[in-house]
Structure 1
Amino acid sequence: MGFQRWSANQQHNRRPMSKARTDGNSDDRSTNEADSSENYKSWVMEHPSALASFDPMMSAANGKMIVVFLDYDGTLSPIVDNPDRAFMSDEMRSAVHEVAKSFPTAIISGRGRDKVKEFVQLSNVYYAGSHGMDIMAPPRPPKSCNGKHQTVPLDREGKEGLFQPAKKFLPAIQEILNLLEEKIRKIQGARVEDNRFCISVHFRQVQQEDYGILEEKVKSVLENYPEFRLTRGKKVMEIRPSIEWNKGDALEYLLETLGLNNSSDVLPLYIGDDRTDEDAFKVIQSRGQGYPIIVSSIPKETNASYSLRDPSEVLTFLLRLAKWRKNSN
């Protein structure tokens, strides 16, 4: 299974797999193990392992420029009950550092930019927090692998370093944050996280019978803020400004600032595990070249072409990628 170019017709004809549940308090891991194992084998036939496919993928990448995009939670770190303790391992940090020495590399997370930067602790990567609504370049932007592109990201006003398309929503976000903290403080296990340009309401530790109450309280707050929308991820509800901006837009913006958005020799490689990463997968598919890779140990509907089971496989893949670059120089 080598490098794939997807047309719109190919995308449309792909057989949909088991969809991720929309019931906020359901847990994918509750799937019957035997059925899940068989379903996963079938799913991997359509979304082959990026480790098993590594050699043909890299063979197709010879002479082209790889740009690496990485989600954080569930990709570089395991999903944990307490989101404040979603630490990445030293081995993973070292692997990302090595990859970023050879390829332009960005972390695109739903977390606040400062928070994900605190977790990652690297100075040679781009950070895009709040689902790409808060982007910062490294102190010195990394050269691309051919040494030609060293563009510094600019915001729409030409200011260097930061791009924040939802900045005008900050006062309203703080209002919503304060209201949510007051509304849900009596619901045991519920946590509100300030991600600067979006708000996360975590319910991984909320009792099932309390989930409906929590959801209603969140919706009641948003009734007075029509310019915001509610989305869902893994055991989390997220409140975001209703602007046309997502992780896919962030990917395109970063390619543009690197001077690579219109290049036919660029291969975006995006690894992520969440529904919000699907926007980035769609962008890569629409480009007709690149490697969208989903991290999942269960079958799910996705726009990704390849898969990795968990963060440990992500680590192995990144180490192989860094080694491949060194050996190919």
Structure 2
Amino acid sequence: SERPIVQMKAILQLDGCWYAGQHGFEIKGAAGTDVDYQVAEVYRPALVEAYGALKDMLAGIQGTTVTDNTYSIAVEYSKCAPYERGGVEAAVTEVLGLSPTLRRTDGDKTLHLRPRVEWNRGRAVEWMSQRFEALHSDDDDSLLPVYIGLEQGSAAAEGGGPGDDDQSMYEVIKGRMGGLGILVSEPVDAAVSPDDTAAGFTISNGQAEVRQFLETLVQAWYSTRNLPLWAKFRGSKKK
């Protein structure tokens, strides 16, 4: 998640979960483990400086919010007037010009400033899976990664950094980890071109559909553990 782990824990209230916050820049294992990994602590001074500069520069543009998420700065402009958005982009570009250790990635009407480091969501999940398997090496069960994301297209980060959108996660989960990449898209009758996404499956938009899928996945895992989970998936595989 792009949220800090402290916020995620407050929302989910699940001690048995592993958490990756700040787009994977902070990782904490489940209760009872000693996993606590901070990837970019050295970049905090640059992020604090960028946060202060953006707060000052964007104070006069209504509808913008600047949030310090510890290991990233989020500039949201969803409520900003269309003619003001160029000013938001210009401010972010100016701050990045003064902060060579940071880079920009784009979200849904949000611009993110993050450390210029070879780390992203995909790398974070790979690291977590390796640590998880090391801690559970005596278990008979194999690990099946499942990633559910919202972004369909690929969007590499500006400044030469690795892409951090959901597309990069689909590629890691499917290509290197043999898991399930799932795109939460429009209703299933809306076609999704294979060229537009690396996700292997789609499910309808909305929390209810995602919850139904997760409940089905858990039930399938416990009731028929020897069958492939692909057979239990109720979404639509892309053509």
TM-score, normalised to structure 1, is: 0.58
Q: What is the CA-CA distance between 1:116 and the residue it aligns to?
A: 2.2
Alpha-carbon distance, 1:288 to partner: 6.3
Q: CA deviation at 1:170?
A: 0.9
Structure 2: distance between partners of 1:308 and 1:249: 25
Q: 1:120 aligns with which of 12, 17, 36?
A: 12
The alignment's C-alpha RMSD in Å is 2.3
Match of 1:252 in 2: 126
Structure 1 counterpart of 2:148, from 259, 271, 281: 271
Write the distance in 1 (CA, Å) between the matches of 2:141 and 2:211. 28
Note if contact 1:111-1:195 (Cα within 8 Å) is conserved in structure 2: yes
Quote how far apart the aligned CAs of 1:117 are: 2.2
Which AA in structure 2 matches 1:114?
Answer: V
Shift of 1:118: 2.2
Percent identity over paired residues: 31
Q: Determine if the alignment matches structure 1 residue 170 to structure 2 residue 47.
A: no
List alignment gaps of at least 5 residues for structure 2: 156-164, 226-239
Asked if the contact 1:113/1:195 (under 8 Å) is kept, the reply is: no
| C-alpha distance after superposition, 1:257-306 (max 9, x if no partner) | 0126x999532111111361222111123226211011121747211100
Q: Which string of whole-angstrom CA distances, capped at 9 and with x for unpartnered residues, describes residues 212-246 of structure 1?
A: 01110111111110111111011110001010100
- Aligned counterparts of 1:188 and 1:308: Cα–Cα separation in 2: 36
Judge conservation of contact 2:150–2:185 (CA < 8 Å) in 1. yes
Give the conservation status (yes or no) of the 8 Å contact 1:281–1:303: yes
- Number of matched pairs: 203
Q: Distance in 1 between matches of 2:60 and 2:8?
A: 28
Whole-Å Cα distance in 1 between the matches of residues 51 and 175 of structure 2?
36
Secondary structure, in 3 states, of the residue corresponding to 1:237? strand
Partner of 1:284 in structure 2?
Answer: 173
What is the alpha-carbon distance in structure 2 between the residues aligned to residue 295 and residue 252 of structure 1?
Answer: 22
Please report the TM-score for the alignment, with normalisation by the length of structure 2.
0.78
Distance in 2 separating the partners of 1:198 and 1:118:
20
Letter of the 1:289 counterpart: G
Partner of 2:197: 302
| Cα drift, residue 180 of structure 1 | 0.9
Residue 107 of structure 2, aligned match among 229, 233, 242: 233
Q: Which contiguous aligned blocks of 4+ residues in structure 1 show a shift greater than 6 angstroms?
A: none
Instruction: Tell which deviates more after alignment, 300-309 or 227-236.
Output: 300-309
What secondary structure does 1:258 align onto? Answer: helix
> Is contact 2:68-2:74 (8 Å) kept?
yes
Select the structure with the greater relative contact order (CA < 8 A; seq sep ≥ 6).
1
- Structure 2 CA distance, aligned partners of 1:266 and 1:123? 20
Q: Distance in 1 between matches of 2:19 and 2:27?
A: 6
Kindly indicate whether residue 216 of structure 2 is the aligned counterpart of residue 320 of structure 1: yes
Residues 199 and 238, structure 1, Cα contact 8 Å, conserved in 2: yes
